[in-house]
A and B are shown apart, each in its own frame.
Chain A
């Protein structure tokens, strides 16, 4: 696809019928969590959308985010979205290496100055620039250089969004999030460890369709995907309402698919779309497979205590008092949010006490 070609022209040249394009737009609107009534708008916008240049930088990361992306569960539709962008630099996926690869990045930065999207996965180590380098350039230098002329930045994964696992105590590399370094550009955080693949493509599709940044929550995440917590959208929620909890991973409650709250499920304080979009071609998600949510799309999820301790245990101190709280039912949505805040404060206080 040539850069000056619109997506509509490109698809027509590829022999995709307008009906096929309509189907593509319906699936894309669904992907972006737009109401079906918005499809005609998407059709109009995408037909005339120009192909944006994308530079993808991988810093202190495990490649899980790229793995997730390349296993997007809708190859045809999503590969069209990838055809529709110009992925000019991605050192894991591109064929070029060494000097040629860095030249591709520089060419994209120059050729599309002010217009390209900069995608980052992985955190940035500030402890010692030598901890993570690409072509001899430290992550922080490459980020600052690449961000200078970007239209917008997308942080893919919890590491780029909030520091993630490298940032977990004791944070040996001094890892920080993208937003700790770049403060003068719009940043979209697509958190998750890894993020749901269709959320990554959904955000790209939004930028492609509307040329704007989607509505974001207070942590910079698109509300279309992170607007509701796992608990509120969980199919096991009715068991929670009735006070039916699995107490161990192999008891009667677990076998009957009851609520996993007491086994440490972080669904009530975790904002993500797993409960509706699901994973592995829409097969399931952790709770659907009998394990509580780890809360991987939230800041500092690794340092919030055990994955198997109920959320409110930190606030009330013991399992026993917590059960009383769980029985209080509806009040818990607020309670757990407070608990999360209290825990964060407590953790920070402990951290400071430890350092001083």
Chain B
């Protein structure tokens, strides 16, 4: 890699897509503040120059919440320094990014327990307790 880095290729200017994206986030945040619904922005749908995603992350900064979940590979959910603005990065089991979203809202849907999972776990817990009771008696 060091040999590659010695080639003096630099990317001078960006796509100019960062400011409008940040304004989109600002508008989305204002809507949530008024009690309206949240917004999800797919980062893959935007042309971004090398390094621009990192710039967006740097502008948004780090907030209070950093969550990691394991479902078909890891997913990281980070609240940025702006409360209500989240960065959700889905990875597969080989740790490659499969999708990346900026979510504006109180909590990204992926963090919530899903009704179907809750229903199943209620049954599983009941079954487990029955088995325990049966083995004790």
Contact = CB atoms under 8 A, between A and B. Distances in A.
Interface stretch (A22-30, A51-59, A176-184): A22-30
A214 interface: no
Interface stretch (B37-45, B59-67, B78-86): B37-45
A234 B11 contact: no
A26 B10 contact: no
Q: Which of B10, B41, B47 has most A Cβ within 10 Å? A: B47
A64 interface: no
B97 A18 contact: no
B20 interface: no
Interface in A264-302: 275-277, 281-282, 288, 290
Given A27-B98, A33-B45, A36-B101, A20 B72 contact: yes
Contact of A17 (B9, B15, B99, B114): B114
Given A22-B109, A36-B41, A281 B96 contact: yes
Interface in B44-64: 44-50, 52
Interface in B1-40: 8-16, 40
Interface residues of B, number: 41
B116 to A, nearest CB: 4
A77 B92 CA distance: 7
A256 interface: yes
A237 interface: yes
A256 B49 contact: no
Interface stretch (A68-76, A91-99, A133-141, A163-171): A68-76
Given A16-B72, A20-B71, A77-B72, A27 B8 contact: no
B14 A30 contact: no
A23 B10 contact: no
A356 interface: no
Given A23-B110, A35-B42, A73-B96, A276 B73 contact: no
A75 B93 contact: yes
B107 interface: no
Interface in B88-124: 90, 92-94, 96-99, 101, 109-110, 113-117
Contacts of A235: 11, 14-15, 47-50, 52
Interface of B: 8-16, 40-42, 44-50, 52, 69, 71-73, 75, 90, 92-94, 96-99, 101, 109-110, 113-117
Interface of A: 16-20, 22-24, 26-27, 30-31, 33, 35-37, 39, 73-77, 80, 233-235, 237-239, 254-257, 275-277, 281-282, 288, 290
Given A30-B101, A288-B50, 18 more contacts: A17-B71, A17-B114, A20-B72, A22-B110, A37-B40, A74-B92, A74-B98, A75-B92, A76-B93, A233-B47, A235-B49, A254-B9, A255-B8, A256-B10, A256-B12, A257-B11, A257-B12, A281-B96
24 contacts: A17-B114, A17-B117, A19-B114, A20-B71, A22-B110, A23-B110, A30-B99, A30-B101, A36-B41, A36-B42, A39-B40, A75-B92, A75-B93, A233-B47, A234-B47, A235-B47, A238-B15, A239-B13, A255-B9, A255-B10, A256-B10, A257-B10, A276-B47, A282-B97
The 5 closest A-B pairs by CB, nearest first: A36-B40, A20-B71, A18-B114, A235-B49, A76-B92
